[in-house]
Amino acid sequence: MKKLLSGVSAIMFLAALLACSKKSEPALPPFKPIEEPAKTYGFESTVAWADEFSTDGAPDAGKWNYDVGGSGWGNNELQYYTSTTNNAMIKDGILTITAKKESMGGREYSSSRMVSKNNSDMLYGRYEVKAKLPAGRGTWPAIWMLPNDYAYGAWPISGEIDIMEHVGYDPNNVHFSVHNQLYNAANSKTSTKNIPTAFSDYHVYRCDWTPTSIKGYYDDQLVFTYNNDGKGIAGWPYDKPYHLLLNLAVGGNWGGVQGVDDSIFPVSMQVDYVRFYKMTVK
């Protein structure tokens, strides 16, 4: 019996020692994830890609392609787009895109839709276009961007950025918009600014595009902000390379809401320069 008691005592003594040793261990601090410093985005001061339109004649074939045809382009537009100097020509440092009243390709109007050749470097950055807009009911000029490859799906799933759009029946009201799966067509995210001299003077239409936002500026004044909500491609498909488009449409679902005034033709959008600056990260 004494041996049994001494054994029990030993066990109790050992348990007490273990309990004391556990109590003496310091408590571990709560886990904290390492926080990365916030990134600051900016833009290079040196132009990475540009066209100053300094050589008379046809636009530089090394920088521009053309969308050609009279399919209506998904908007019931009325023009036939050509790839010739009949509708896109450079003279005295200015690119002139002209819409004309003439039969071509089964359409009653001709014009041009110029497309910058796919450039993999055009993923994020600052885009500037200095332009003078055409006046007249039925005109629909645009300076805009589309993805090089529709990696997420057909329009609008892979996105669109409209740096400048104007419809002639609503003079001087200029629009900056984005389109995507959540916001498209009549439901697009849009801001509008009235520019009283949009037809008579050149103005700078600009897009600052980073992984966190798309911002629009007209003559360096902020007019539009669209932020990346971090919830995926439905609202933010803007993480793939894009390219620029310059065009002058006639009529269409928006431009032709109040018809077309045939007395205005020929009518032109004039472009002084197109410039792209790469994004920087700090």
Domains contained in the chain, CATH given? 41-281 (2.60.120.200)
pLDDT of 2 over the 50 cut? no
Nearest to 77, CA basis, from 39, 110, 34, 126: 110
Has residue 11 got a pLDDT over 70? no
Active site residue 165: yes
Is the pLDDT at 5 greater than 50? The verdict is no
**Per-residue model confidence as pLDDT tens digits over 41-87:** 999 999 999 999 999 999 999 999 999 999 999 999 999 999 999 99
**Catalytic annotation, pick one of 77, 102, 108, 160:** 160
pLDDT of residue 121: 76
DSSP string, 168-229: TTSTTEEEEEEE-SSS-GGG-EEEEEE-TTTTTS-EEEEEEE-SSEEEEEETTEEEEEEE--
Residue predicted with more confidence, 200 or 117: 200
- Whose tokens are 């104007």? That residue is 166
Evaluate whether 131 touches 272 at the Cβ level (below 8 Å).
yes
Q: CA torsion 71→72→73→79, rounded to 10°?
A: 100
Question: How many other CB atoms are found less than 10 A from the CB of residue 192?
Answer: 14
Distance between start and end Cα atoms, the chain: 78
Give me the pLDDT at residue 152, please: 98
Q: Which of 35, 44, 102, 165 is catalytic?
A: 165
Backbone angles phi, psi at 24, to 5 degrees: -80, -10
Residue-level pLDDT at 168:
98
Q: Quick one: DSSP state of residue 84?
A: S
Residue 244 contacts by C-beta under 8 Å, 6 or more apart in sequence?
115, 116, 122, 127, 129, 143, 144, 145, 274, 276
CB 136 within 8 A of CB 261: yes
Please, are residues 207 and 216 in contact by the beta-carbon 8 Å criterion? yes
- What CA–CA distance (Å, rounded) separates 280 from 282? 7
pLDDT of residue 115: 97
DSSP annotation of 26 = P
pLDDT at position 185: 86
Question: CA-to-CA distance for 249 and 174, rounded, in angstroms?
Answer: 15
Q: Is 252 left (phi over 0), alpha (psi -120 to 50) or beta?
A: left
160 is catalytic: yes
171: cis peptide before it, omega within 30°? Answer: no
pLDDT of residue 38: 80
3-state secondary structure 255-273: HCCCCCCHHHCCEEEEEEE
The string of pLDDT tens digits covering residues 142-198 is 999 999 999 999 999 999 999 999 999 999 999 999 999 999 988 999 999 999 999
- The predicted structure's pLDDT at residue 220: 97
Distance separating alpha carbons of residues 183 and 174, to the nearest angstrom: 19
Beta bridge pairs of residue 69? 81
Q: Strands, DSSP E only, in 92-136?
A: 94-104, 107-116, 125-132
What pLDDT is attached to residue 4?
42
pLDDT tens digits, 76-114: 999 999 999 999 999 999 999 999 999 999 999 999 999
C-beta neighbour count of 8 within 10 angstroms: 10
Q: For residues 155 and 73, what is the distance between their CA atoms, to the nearest angstrom?
A: 12
Paired tokens of 154: 């057909």
The predicted structure's pLDDT at residue 25: 55
Most confident of 19-23, 28-32, 218-222: 218-222
Instruction: Supply the pLDDT for residue 13.
Output: 52
Q: Confirm whether pTM is higher than 0.85.
A: yes
Structure tokens at 172: 């001087």
